[in-house]
A and B are shown apart, each in its own frame.
Chain A
Amino acid sequence: MTTIALHALRKEYAGQVAIPDLNLEIADGEFFTLLGPSGCGKTTLLRMIAGFNSIEAGTISFDGTVINDRPASERNIGMVFQNYALFPQMTAAKNVGFGLQTRKIARAEAERRVGEALESVRMSHLKDRLPGQMSGGQQQRVALARALVIQPALLLMDEPLSNLDAKLRVEMRDTIRQAQRAAGITTVYVTHDQEEAMAVSDRIAVMNLGVVQQVGSPAEIYRHPANRFVAEFIGKTNILERDLVRQDGRTLVELSAGQRLDVTDLVGPSATGKVHISVRPEAVKAASSGLAAEVVDETFLGSHSQVRARLESGDIIEFLEFSRRSALWTQGDRVFLEVDTDQLTLFDAASGVSVMRGAGD
């Protein structure tokens, strides 16, 4: 049972900085996800924790002990790879047993544990199959069992679902989550899929360009994104550029001509100047009065439809409507939009950093 601390970590590839200076703390038993676009350094960081990458500066500690110089084979980690990485010449059972063999576990004990591990991922019936005779989903189950059976201090997974089809992905996601809960193993999970991250994680670190943008629970980073990058990367959002206006001690922002919003209680006291306002689709709904807008198009998606409408300012807002109307709106229909102020997030236009009350100042 392990806590992990990354302190002032730095990674360079032949002089090119991939991770400049990274700090993170991961709690015991936590399902922690590194989330970010491709190339942001997730794999790099994971492999540093695993011991496969050199560390240019900083420290990695397990339970308060710096393990920078401990070889990968002695870090007691279980690892699940994107391409499964099963040993092609060994059966499922042999694959799962490999880590026990290196740990010199007695044969009877090892057999029992292999059986249990395969059972926990519902693969007992295929224990004598070679990897080449298994589907991708089955291989990944075996890989998961192989990583868990050694009761590792830490479970590392690098995009384990990205080679699977959509349906399997959801199924496997639940298997992973259950297995991790049952074993209570501290887990670092890497993905670029924000939905997947939200579904499995206790906490998420959103990364971009080797820098952690925000760490928090899925709900926290969705509702209170620390900057514009996070707001746009997690879920969908509309961004409006506006000026903050100070009037009689109040802070106002003009959403549309004549429609002024009082955001005094939302933003920090020092907020000023140009801001970017993130308006989540679910913060907007059609109403009998509000912001005047003109429909651009409406796409029917079954239980709901997706509407795009142009404000008088020219900005286009995208939002969702339950399918209650008998006919769809068409281009040019006039509507009024009501915006739920509590679901807005304001960012400084220049820096992109949140100017919300309690976010940073």
Chain B
Amino acid sequence: MKIGGKPVDGWTSVALLLTAGYLFMVVWPLITVLISSVTNADGFSLDGFATFFSSRLYYGTLFNSIVVTVCVTVLTFIIAFPLAYFMTMFRIPGNRTIQVLILASMMSPPFIGAYSWILLLGNNGLITRWLKDIGLEVPSIYGFAGIVLVLTLQLVPLIFTYLMGAWRTIDVSLLEAAESMGMTGWRRALKVIMPLLLPTVLGGSLLVFVRAFADFGTPMLIGQGYRTIPVLIYSSFIGEVSVDHSFAAAVAVIVIAVTLGVFLLQRYIVDRRTFAMTAMRAIEPTRLKGWKGWGVYAYVYGFLILALAPLVVVVISSFRNTLYGQFVEGFSFRNYVSAQRDIVRYITNTFSIGVTALVLLVIVAVLVSYLTVRRKSALTGALDTMTMVPYVVPGLIIGIALITAFSQPPLVLTGTFAVMVLALAIRRLPYAVRSTTALMYQFSPSIEEAAVSLGASKIRTLVQVIVPALAPGILSGAVLSWVTIITELSTTLFLYNTSTQTLSLGIYAQVIRGQLGTAAALSTILLLLTMLSLFLLMRMSGGGKEIRI
């Protein structure tokens, strides 16, 4: 059979199947959110939007979110650029270790940052009490400042890794050319390097923006009176006062509109400024002497300490004694022992749900990237675009969409194992597809043709030739996906019940219930799991070199 000159083969059916699945599982739920935002019991109505813009209590959260996000985006860049510049241009003792630790701090569960800064600087925090003892009053960590501090420290590593990757593509001769024209130091960094890195910076900044804008755990834990829009969505959907799904849906639509707008803007700018570069000679770091050297070291190590502090605090806290959830004198394993039944349940769920989601994710990502790279057509193009949808949709909203679409017959998924798996896989899919697609592009099509010419079927070619050849890349991508899956919170927040509660959901629940000791113990376990996974990644060939989140 032929369509438009091209033979129809098994791959077309796979593309159709995936498209159908995506339409049903992702696009349709989002459409139900859209529908629910413009309807109430009586049919079409813009009440949800009207309510939102009627009260400062509501539209103020959008304003708050935008202020926080812009601050965080700008701050992360201001902090990360010198960091990457120093790490590339100068010889810094322990360079490799620093990079690994920065990566580790980025991959640590996002809300642990908020939680441990409360342990340090909160009303009853370690540093707060210590300063009080010597008679100093510290400004409150709660609210705007706390959110910005935590998110910035959390996201600097993200843009830092982007910058380090881009830096490797800059040929040293460009810098030498600038130097020969009398341009050195900071002027050169700003005039020559910065413009070359711009596409990367914008790409990274978009991610920072989307993450900061959509982050729920941090403002929920540390924001207190300073409410951001994800918190508003959460509380209006959960219905502390009254359940108003139409309102929550309207807010969700507004959030998607903002992230989509930023996404398109970034695309528009980057498309017009991409340079093709390959470094023949990479930049050789030089040794710094005197006060300049000390300044640079102080900056790098100082950041590292700030970034790692939350992790250290959590681990130590997990061994402190508690009474009614609050920390008291003394150290022991009690937090672990008393919560052992919960811990076992959380870990079991984390693995069963996480691994299933990961397998689904990897299979779909391999198929989609194969289709978009090797079987270019209108259908696969549409599929590729569709898989990018969750990129601009915050996790909380994916959760809401799945609930809205699958909470009434014929298909009731709420509270099931399946919906947890589905939500996590959907959330991570854009990233997985993009990294697998990059691999696929590097893979010569003639290798596939060689297999076919030797008589291999399509399935055999995929399973015996393509996947094994790409396995190292797919595997390291999978480890990264795994880490983000086990630390994900907001996507599954509406979807779990006690039988599907994972570690990160457990930590959240314990913090909210004021069980700080148990939360610290769970966080330590999650951290350990994350670090072990990252260690595995570093050991794998090719891993650690080009890690992109």
A residues contacting B by CB (< 8 A) are 50, 52, 54, 56, 69, 71-79, 81-83, 85-89, 98-99, 102-103, 143, 146-147, 150, 156
Does residue B457 face the partner (Cβ distance < 8 Å to A)?
A: yes
Q: Which 8 A-B pairs have the closest CB atoms?
A: A99-B454, A85-B446, A102-B455, A79-B453, A85-B450, A81-B446, A89-B468, A85-B447
**CB of B449 within 8 Å of the partner chain:** yes
Partner of A87, one of B5, B451, B453, B471: B451
Q: Bound state CA distance, A74 and B447, in angstroms?
A: 17
Contacts of B188 in A (CB 8 A): none
* Contacting residue for A88 out of B7, B456, B457, B469, CB 8 A: B469
Q: Answer whether residue B460 sits at the interface, using C-beta atoms and an 8 A cutoff.
A: yes
List 19 additional contacts besides A56-B5, A146-B454; criterion CB under 8 Å: A50-B449, A52-B452, A54-B7, A71-B7, A73-B455, A74-B455, A78-B454, A81-B449, A81-B450, A82-B446, A83-B444, A85-B444, A87-B451, A89-B471, A98-B456, A102-B456, A102-B457, A146-B450, A150-B455
In the assembled complex, the Cα of A102 lies from the Cα of B444 at a distance in Å of 21
List chain B positions with a Cβ less than 8 A from chain A.
Answer: 5-7, 444, 446-447, 449-457, 460, 464-465, 468-469, 471
Q: For residue B454, which residues in chain A have a CB less than 8 angstroms away from its CB?
A: 73, 78, 98-99, 102, 146, 150
Q: How far is the CA of A73 from the CA of B465 in the complex (A)?
A: 14
Contact of A89 among B7, B449, B469 (CB under 8 A): B469
Max chain A C-beta neighbours (<10 A), residue from B5, B447, B471: B447
Min distance, Cβ A141 to any Cβ of chain B, angstroms: 15
Give 5 pairs: A residue, B residue, CB < 8 Å, sorted on A. Answer: A72-B453, A75-B453, A78-B454, A98-B464, A99-B454
B451 and A54 contact, CB distance less than 8 A: no
Q: How far is the CB of A91 from chain B (nearest CB, A)?
A: 13
Contacting pair A87 B465 (CB below 8 A): yes
Decide if A73 touches B449 in the complex (CB within 8 Å): no
Bound: A37/B254 CA distance, A: 58
- Minimum Cβ distance to chain A for residue B147 (Å): 47
CA A186 – CA B522 in complex, angstroms?
69
Please report whether the interface of chain B is mostly helix, strand, loop or mixed according to DSSP.
Answer: helix
B467 to nearest A CB, angstroms? 10
- Asked if B447 contacts A54 (CB within 8 A), the reply is no
Chain B residues closer than 8 Å to A89, beta-carbon distance:
468-469, 471
Contact in complex: A87, B447 (CB < 8 Å):
yes
Cβ B449 vs Cβ A85 within 8 A: yes
A143 to B454, CA, bound (A): 11
Task: Check A73 against B453 for contact (C-beta < 8 Å).
Answer: yes
Q: Smallest Cβ distance from A257 to chain B, in angstroms?
A: 57
Contact partner, B452, options A69, A73, A81, A82, Cβ 8 Å: A73
A103–B7 contact, CB under 8 A? no
Cα distance, A86 to B469, chains bound together (Å): 10
How far, in angstroms, from A217 to B7 measured CA to CA in the complex? 37
Nearest B-chain residue to A77, judged by Cβ: B453
* Chain A residues, CB < 8 A from B465: 87
| Known pairs A83-B446, A85-B449, A87-B450; A99 contacts B471 (CB<8 A) | no
| Shortest CB distance A161–B (Å) | 15
Q: Does the CB pair A54–B449 fall under 8 Å?
A: no
B256 to chain A, nearest CB (A): 36
Q: In the assembly, what is the distance between CA of A72 and CA of B457, in Å? A: 10
| A78 to B451 CA separation, bound complex (whole angstroms) | 10
B453 cross-chain contacts in A, Cβ below 8 A? 50, 72-73, 75, 77-79, 147, 156
CB of A283, distance to nearest CB on chain B (Å): 43
Q: Which residues of A contact B457 (CB under 8 A)?
A: 73, 102
One of A52, A78, A99, A146 near B449 (C-beta < 8 A): A52
B101 CB to nearest A CB, Å: 32
Q: Which residues of B contact A147 (CB under 8 A)?
A: 453
| Best-surrounded residue of B452, B455, B468, B471 (most CB of chain A within 10 A) | B455
Query: Which B residues lie within 8 Å of A88 (CB)?
Result: 447, 469
Q: Which residues of A contact B449 (CB under 8 A)?
A: 50, 52, 72, 79, 81, 85
> Given the interface contacts A89-B468, A89-B469, does A98 sit within 8 Å of B5 by beta carbon?
no
Which B residues lie within 8 Å of A77 (CB)? 453
Bound-state Cα–Cα, A345 to B454, Å: 45
Q: How far is the CA of A74 from the CA of B399 in the complex (A)?
A: 48
Residues on the A chain within 8 Å of B6, using CB: 54
Do A79 and B469 have beta carbons less than 8 Å apart? no
Cα of A98 to Cα of B460 in the assembled complex, Å: 11
- Asked if residues B455 and A87 are in contact (CB atoms below 8 Å), the reply is no
| CB-CB under 8 A for A76 and B447, given A54-B6, A88-B469, A102-B460 | no
Q: How far apart sit A273 and B7, CA to CA, in the bound complex (Å)?
A: 51
Residues of B within 8 A of A73 (CB): 452-457
Q: Report the minimum CB–CB distance from A276 to chain B (whole Å).
A: 40
> What's the Cα separation between A143 and B444 when bound, in Å?
15
Separation of A252 and B1 alpha carbons in the complex (Å): 61
What's the Cα separation between A150 and B456 when bound, in Å? 12
For B450, the closest partner residue in chain A by CB is A85
A98–B457 Cα distance when bound, in Å, is 12
Task: Please name all residues of chain B whose beta carbon is closer than 8 Å to the beta carbon of A71 when the two chains form the complex.
Answer: 7, 452
